[in-house]
Amino acid sequence: MHFRGLGPPGSLPLRRPVAIAGIDRKRGEVTLHLPSTDAATPWLAMRRAGDRADPIGPLGRPLAIEPRTHHLLLIAEGLSVPPLGPLTEAAIATGRRVALLLGARSAAEVYPSSLLPDELEYVVATQDGSLGHRGSVVDLVPAYEAWADQAVASGGPALLERVAHLARGRDARLGVACLGRRTARRGRRTGRVTRRSWLSVVLEQRVGCALGVCLGCVVPGASGPVRVCREGPAFRADELAWEESA
Ligand code: FES
């Protein structure tokens, strides 16, 4: 969602991208979790019922649960949990089991469990060891890679690179055969076999216009540049170009 404040000059003159953390369709409400450091937070916190804003969205391509997924693994760090909210709600509502692995610098920066559904398995890693596993959240992933049918990572480039690198070796470690599904064109089988990537990622990227026009959000894709605001922010890991050294 992209926000612009309506009000006195200087209130929130530029649009701000804000992830939707939850959706209540019956009540027509969306939930936003913003860090105190975000420029939009003070302005939004001052709003009262009846105040006007000028949001546009939802923008881009959302995360999707694969039909065959029974166990969904979420990997996040710091404040990158909110974009996973609607996917988590949808997975739990449809009877899937969901585990969230979260990394943070210390216990003080761990996402509050009170903001997460009770049904979620929540495992924490902190760099200083003040809560949960001491070290990186990526250390926790191998214990879940056989359990999870699908994984989604949300966070900065360093985390996503490491998880993508790990995911590339998953099939070989688990002995998964590359059977995939045959694709059909005009009712005829083409013989081409495709396989969905186990891992999807949500990119944290500053966006400008958020409408696909300014090209300020372009990142390297596997088949050429892609716009995070239009083709993303959710991508299958095999749609992006990753550093080989990760
Ligand atoms: S922010 Fe302008 S093209 Fe994506």
Q: Does the beta carbon of 123 sit less than 6 angstroms from any atom of ligand 1? A: no
> Is 217 within a domain?
no
Q: Does the beta carbon of 14 sit less than 6 angstroms from any atom of ligand 1? A: no
Q: Are residues 120 and 29 in the same domain?
A: no
* For ligand 1, mutation pick of 16, 59, 211, 226 (most atoms within 8 Å of CB): 211
Q: Does the beta carbon of 217 sit less than 6 angstroms from any atom of ligand 1? A: yes
Q: Are residues 40 and 79 in the same domain?
A: no
HSE-up of residue 239 (Cα within 13 Å, Cβ side)? 19
Sort strands 121-126 and 188-194 into parallel, antiparallel or unpaired.
unpaired
> Is 51 within a domain?
no
Q: Are residues 106 and 155 in the same domain?
A: yes
Q: Which residues pair with 202 in a beta bridge?
A: 154, 234
pTM: 0.84
Q: Where are the alpha helices (DSSP H) in 119-246?
A: 157-168, 170-174
> From first to last of its 246 residues, what are the pLDDT tens digits of the chain?
665 655 554 456 667 778 888 888 888 888 888 777 777 778 888 888 888 878 888 888 888 999 999 999 999 998 899 999 999 999 999 999 999 999 999 999 999 999 999 999 999 999 999 999 999 999 999 999 999 999 999 999 999 999 999 998 887 778 766 555 555 555 455 444 455 789 999 998 777 788 888 998 999 999 999 999 999 999 999 999 987 654
Structure tokens at 72: 């969904």
Domain limits at 12? 2-45
Task: Give the number of domains in the chain.
Answer: 2
Distance between Cα 226 and ligand 1 center (Å): 10
